[in-house]
Amino acid sequence: MLKNMLKATVFATTLALSAGALSVPAFAEVVFNRGNSADPESLDPHKTSTVYEAHILRDLFEGLVMQDQNAEIIPGAAESWTVSDDGTVYTFKLRQGATWSDGSPVTAEDFVYSFRRLEDPATGAEYASMLYVVKNGEEVNTGKAKPEELGVKAVDANTFEVTLKAPTPYFLEMLTHQSTYPVNKAAIDKLGADWIKPGNLVSNGAFTLAEFVPNDHIKLVKNPKFHDAANVKLDAVNYFPTEDRSTAIKRFEAGELDSNDDIPTEQMADLKAKFGDQLRIGAYLGTYYYAIKTDKAPWDNVELRNAVSMAIDRDFLAEKVWQNSMIPGYSMVPPGIEGYTSALATFADKSQIDREDEAKKVLEKLGYGPDKPLKMEIRYNTSENHKNTAVAIQEQLKPLGIEVTLLNTDTKTHYGHLEQKGDFDVARAGWIADYKDPESFLGISRKASGNNYSNYNSPKFEEAMNKAAAAGGKPEERLKEMAAAERILIDDVGQIPLLYYSYKNLVSPKIKGFDENVMDVHPSRFVSKD
């Protein structure tokens, strides 16, 4: 690195002398070019839901606490915190002298405003249910209480207090999620929806927004006002949307990308041979599933939903389509959460032949078969991997008299449709843990969740989830109630889990600090480039 810097100095000085003038040597910017599977739907933390957006927002904003390069919790905008003896009151001390990128101070009132905005039904936040653990959170979000009644307050300019409904073991880790990041009230009041545009966006993270060219790139530049700016090694980060994984591989090989967050799995063997340890694959706390419209005929029939789920050969998907980079999945909560045993589909231990025979009998009983096919549309977002998965399922279901059509849209359109509760039969989705707790995977199937694409609605499931929340101070009882809730969800086929994720990153040897972890979290503030 020093050699390159010396070369740059000599070159810059030579240019200056040849021009007949002396100038300060110019050093090349250190730029991290990140492949990111899709463009964000928004850069408003309160109006996002995907990991594609999380990667960017983690660089732009800083919540009360954050995650380091190992996905461990570290102080963020809050330098310290205390918890009441009963586990329901968290008091955060904000960093003295911390500022927004426009130089204005970051205060406790910013967090009061931001938490209230997330819960305000007028915001339409998909992740509003995230703060239902806060006193009056659900009441505010459902219009039964005013935003001012939310259990948050500014004790003073540097002290922010949150009161929870009940002890919530994962609360701190939950605060690393982008929906809990602070937003700048002055910018929003002045600019409205335009506050997230380059030149307008005021943030408090390690980087600020310089450029956003849809379908091309997003450029972030180092924020000199960030409290830890002295330790940020990058001058800029470029995020490139890489929905076409094969093209992304070519760009990585050409050196145009320093990393990419996915690969076309059908090329797995060749990529391993070509890139060696630059291809990083490991356990990732996530579930690949299909949402199925539980309130739309004929999918409102649980027997039919279960027959479809049974007929899908998950072993084939994992081994052939995903080249063993995924694991067959029969529960919404993936393995790997300490102390929790997932509730598996009742057919998980049956052979695939037995599953198909049973599914066929159910379909025949319901009046479906090759002569009277059941028509089903699968929606999926752009990716060779998602397409190959949908095509494989299409072929698996065909012999049973299920006529599958496929509908592909770009990721932004796909998730926009799901979030707006648009019409569909079955839709590809994936859920990555927002925090290492079963609730992260089960909460998305609650009636009030903006991520409940299936419109699943079960009073028994809600009751079990409420019991789990009420048992927050008793870990074993809480996890037992969580497992009971998952049992209800799986038996109802509220969603169709298919696979458990692994991360599949390509990372150049020039990049340091891009450390492997089960959350696949890689904040650019900890990355350096040789």
Answer yes or no: is pLDDT of 356 > 60.
Answer: yes
Asked if residues 76 and 523 have their Cβ atoms less than 8 Å apart, the reply is no
The number of residues making up the chain comes to 530
Q: How confident is the model at residue 28 (pLDDT cuts 50, 70, 90)?
A: confident
Backbone angles phi, psi at 346, to 5 degrees: -65, -20
Q: What is the pLDDT of residues 434-493, one digit of tens each?
A: 999 999 999 999 999 999 999 999 999 999 999 999 998 899 999 999 999 999 999 999
94, 90, 98: which is closest to 78 by C-alpha? 94
pLDDT digits (tens, 9 = 90+) for 271-310: 999 999 999 999 999 999 999 999 999 999 999 999 999 9
Whole-angstrom Cα distance, residue 166 to residue 468? 10
Q: pLDDT, tens digit, for every residue of 195-211? A: 999 999 999 999 999 99
- Please report the pLDDT score of residue 207 as a whole number: 98
Q: For residue 23, is pLDDT > 60?
A: no
Adjacent-strand bridge partners of 241: 36
Residue 266 CA to residue 320 CA, distance in Å, equals 8
CA–CA dist 325, 281 (Å, integer): 7
Q: At what angle do helices 302-311 and 352-365 cross, to 10 degrees?
A: 150
Residue 1 has pLDDT above 90, yes or no: no
Q: Which helix (H) or strand (E) holds 32?
A: strand 31-36
| pLDDT tens per residue, range 382-437 | 999 999 999 999 999 999 999 999 999 999 999 999 999 999 999 999 999 999 99
pLDDT of residue 27: 67
Domains and CATH numbers, the chain: 1-30 (no CATH), 37-223 (3.90.76.10), 282-503 (3.10.105.10)
pLDDT of residue 97: 94
Q: Please give the Cα distance from 269 to 361 (Å, whole number).
A: 39
Q: What would the mean pLDDT of 87-107 be, rounded to a whole number?
A: 97
Phi and psi torsions of 33, nearest 5°: -100, 105
Per the structure block, which two tokens stand in for 393? 């399922």
Contacts of 444 (CB under 8 A, 6+ apart): 431, 451, 452
Nearest Cα neighbor of 304 from 377, 348, 368 is 368
Amino acid 203: pLDDT = 98
Query: What pLDDT is stored for residue 194 in this prediction?
Result: 97
Helix axes 459-470, 475-492, angle to 10 degrees: 170
Q: Select from 518, 381, 416 the least CA-distant residue to 49.
A: 416
pLDDT, tens only, 488-503: 999 999 999 999 999 9
- DSSP H helices, 30-153, are 51-60, 108-119, 137-141
